[in-house]
Amino acid sequence: MSYHVIGKKTVATAGTRVQLIATTPTKAQGVCIQALSSNTGKIYIGDSTVVGSTLVGCGYVLGIPAGAVIPGFSTTIQASNALDVSQFYIDADVNGEGVLVSYIRG
């Protein structure tokens, strides 16, 4: 297995979805997405249609970090490299807020 860091991804303009990784298919066994500790609004994780304000295409909502608790989303799959990281997008309530992203290849 190998660990890969995408790093910090932010949404420049709230309501405008951002792809987590370039459009090239990037297969992974697991993906970890964690809210930035400085976020003051929610982050929405979904597919290429994700819209935070309506929850269209949204599969998960990262809440506002509270104190030492920073919300995160992770997914793993038994079949090696069956997730495609390029299919994950985020949207945000607040301009400039975002997530930290990493993934594991089997």
pLDDT in tens, 14-23: 999 999 998 7
Tell me what the pLDDT averaged over the chain comes to.
93
As a whole number of angstroms, the distance between CA 51 and CA 31 comes to 21
> How many residues belong to the chain?
106
pLDDT at residue 22, as a whole number: 83
As a whole number of angstroms, the distance between CA 97 and CA 77 comes to 28
Confidence of residue 41 (pLDDT cuts 50, 70, 90): very high
pLDDT at residue 38, as a whole number: 94
pLDDT at residue 75, as a whole number: 84
Q: DSSP strand E in the chain: where? A: 2-10, 18-19, 27-28, 30-35, 43-51, 56-62, 72-76, 83-84, 89-92, 98-105
| Mean pLDDT calculated for residue range 23-40 | 92
As a whole number of angstroms, the distance between CA 98 and CA 106 comes to 26
pLDDT at residue 81, as a whole number: 81
Instruction: State the fold for domain 2-105.
Output: Jelly Rolls (2.60.120)
**∠ CA 20-3-48 to the nearest 5 degrees?**
15
Confidence of residue 69 (pLDDT cuts 50, 70, 90): confident
How many beta carbons lie within 10 A of that of residue 44, not counting itself? 25
